[in-house]
């Protein structure tokens, strides 16, 4: 059954792809079998677009999609949205800004909720990216909630990571400096028609100067006005150049090792019921017999 579903996905059946994403997101029985029969599509590039809220990431993605479609490419976009505090579903603002592409046969857009994941990504983002890569797309774009030191995992998932900022984000960028040094392959200063854009770019170059010595090439800084499609063609060229000339796998290996660790940990915890633990701890504590670290030994 799962082999048949994968065959439909590979043939371009978008309904089967959407259904499969839901199976994985909700951990429906059989989703692990689906993942196990996915073909390895490591050659499909993943582009990470990240940056603080309000930086215009969705407008940038919208403009990039247009350039890729112009080149005859097929594009999938996974928008990792902030979770609704009420139902853990995605807040769909990003999808509204990319509404031009929803009926295009060569574009697939799906919003995903972080569901409280600390890394700014969906907890199943690796699995979902692998699923989408098997569906015959030329590019997979992943737009994340924000950026910071806790969200460096995007750089392990993406083949190229674009960090988007705006001219008035000086203090915010300074605060996030350590995380940005780890994440950015390309910087975009969006909304570059705003005052002080040029001085902000110069300050950003100064901030990045120590990082230049650690890289073979300096990190490009590109000015864009995404809503007017200005500068985005240069960004697209830089993305293509980076994908062609950089093949570092170390961060991907790190992310995969982390994912394997989490999955093993989850499997080991499957038979442990939290309510049972609560009642047993209460009972032992009432008899003054509960000792946290001695109690843990029973699970070794």
In-domain check, residue 129: yes
- Indicate whether 186 pLDDT > 90: yes
* Together in a domain, 221 and 282: no
In-domain check, residue 6: yes
* Together in a domain, 33 and 109: no
* Together in a domain, 47 and 6: no
In-domain check, residue 266: no
* Together in a domain, 180 and 120: yes
In-domain check, residue 159: yes
What is the reported pTM? Answer: 0.81
Half-sphere exposure of 109 (CA within 13 A, CB side): 21
In-domain check, residue 146: yes
* Together in a domain, 110 and 215: yes
In-domain check, residue 267: no
Residue appearing with tokens 């065959």 = 7
Distance CA 107, CA 167 (A): 31
In sequence order, the β-bridge partners of residue 164 are: 188
- Indicate whether 50 pLDDT > 50: yes
Q: Which residues contact 110 (CB under 8 A, 6 or more apart)?
A: 18, 21, 76, 77, 78, 79
In-domain check, residue 261: no
- Indicate whether 7 pLDDT > 70: yes
Say which residue, 294 or 255, is predicted with more confidence.
Answer: 294
Lowest mean pLDDT segment, chosen from 104-113, 150-159, 168-177, 236-245 = 168-177
In-domain check, residue 262: no
Q: Say if CB 165 and CB 192 are below 8 A apart.
A: no
Domain count, the chain: 3
Q: What DSSP designation does 74 have?
A: -
* Together in a domain, 137 and 14: no
Lowest mean pLDDT segment, chosen from 94-108, 165-179, 244-258 = 165-179
Report pLDDT digits (tens) over 12-47: 999 999 999 999 998 899 898 999 999 877 789 999
* Together in a domain, 71 and 124: yes
pLDDT at 190: 95
pLDDT, the chain, mean: 82
Residue appearing with tokens 């059946």 = 13
* Together in a domain, 28 and 147: no
Distance of alpha carbon 47 from its chain centroid, rounded?
Answer: 9
pLDDT at 273: 82
* Together in a domain, 166 and 224: yes
- Indicate whether 120 pLDDT > 70: no
Q: Which of 185, 160, 189, 187 is nearest to 47 (CA)?
A: 160
SS3 (DSSP) at 92: coil
* Together in a domain, 215 and 283: no
Q: What DSSP designation does 38 have?
A: P
Report pLDDT digits (tens) over 55-79: 899 899 999 999 999 999 999 999 8
pLDDT at 245: 85
* Together in a domain, 243 and 298: no
Distance CA 269, CA 273 (A): 8
Supply 94's token pair.
């990003």
Report the CATH number at residue 176.
3.40.50.300
* Together in a domain, 100 and 174: yes
Distance CA 19, CA 252 (A): 27
- In percent, the amount of the chain with pLDDT more than 90 equals 42
Range of the domain at 174: 40-255
Distance CA 56, CA 237 (A): 19
């Amino acid at each position: 059954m799962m082999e048949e579903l994968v065959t439909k996905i590979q043939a371009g059946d978008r309904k089967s792809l959407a259904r499969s994403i839901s199976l994985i997101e909700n951990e429906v029985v059989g989703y692990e079998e689906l993942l196990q029969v996915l073909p390895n599509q490591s050659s499909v590039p993943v582009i990470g677009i990240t940056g603080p809220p309000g930086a215009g990431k969705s407008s940038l993605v919208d403009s990039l999609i247009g350039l890729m479609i112009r080149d005859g490419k097929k594009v999938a976009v996974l928008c990792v949205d902030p979770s609704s505090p009420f139902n853990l579903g995605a807040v769909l603002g990003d999808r509204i800004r990319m509404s031009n592409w929803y009926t295009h046969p060569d574009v697939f857009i799906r919003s995903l909720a972080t569901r409280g994941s600390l890394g700014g990504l969906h907890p199943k983002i690796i699995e979902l990216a692998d699923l989408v890569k098997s569906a015959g797309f030329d590019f997979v774009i992943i737009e994340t909630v924000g950026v910071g030191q806790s969200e460096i995992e995007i750089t392990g998932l993406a083949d190229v990571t674009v960090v988007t900022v705006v001219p008035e984000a000086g203090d915010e960028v300074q605060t996030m400096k350590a995380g940005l040094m780890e994440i950015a392959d390309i910087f975009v200063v969006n909304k570059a028609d705003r005052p002080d854009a040029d001085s902000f770019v110069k300050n950003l170059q100064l901030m990045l100067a120590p990082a230049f010595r650690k890289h073979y090439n300096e990190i490009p800084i590109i000015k864009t006005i995404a809503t007017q499609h200005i500068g985005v063609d240069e960004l697209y060229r830089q993305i293509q150049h980076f994908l062609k000339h950089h093949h570092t796998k170390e961060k991907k290996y790190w992310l995969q090792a982390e994912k394997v660790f989490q999955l093993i940990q989850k499997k080991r915890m499957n038979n442990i019921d939290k309510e049972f633990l609560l009642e047993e701890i209460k009972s032992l504590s009432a008899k003054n017999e509960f000792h946290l670290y001695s109690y843990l030994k029973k699970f070794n």
